[in-house]
Amino acid sequence: MEPNKLKELLQQVKTGGCSVEQAMERLKILPFEDLGFARLDHHRHLRQGFPEVIFCEGKSIPQIEKIVSCILAMGCDLLATRCVPEVYQAVYKLDSRAVYNELGRTITIKQETRPKTGGQILVISAGTSDIPVAEEAVTTADVLGSQVERLYDVGVAGIHRLLGQESKLSGARVIVVVAGMEGALASVVGGLVDKPLIAVPTSVGYGSSFNGLAALLTMLNSCAAGVGVVNIDNGFGAGCLAHKINKLGEPDEVGV
Domains in the chain: ranges and CATH: 3-109 (no CATH), 120-247 (3.40.50.1970)
Residue 246 pLDDT grade (very low, low, confident, very high; cuts 50, 70, 90): very high
pLDDT at 254 > cutoff 50: no
Percentage of the chain lying above the pLDDT 90 cut: 68
The pLDDT score that the predictor gives to residue 28 is 56
Residue 213 pLDDT grade (very low, low, confident, very high; cuts 50, 70, 90): very high
pLDDT, average across residues 36-65:
87
**Higher-pLDDT residue of 109, 251:** 109
List of E strands, the chain: 33-34, 39-40, 54-55, 78-81, 99-101, 106-109, 120-125, 147-151, 174-179, 197-201, 227-229
Q: Measured between alpha carbons, how far is 14 from 11 in angstroms, rounded to an integer?
A: 5
The CA distances from residue 169 to 107, 140, 154, 158, 174, in Å, are: 28, 20, 12, 17, 9
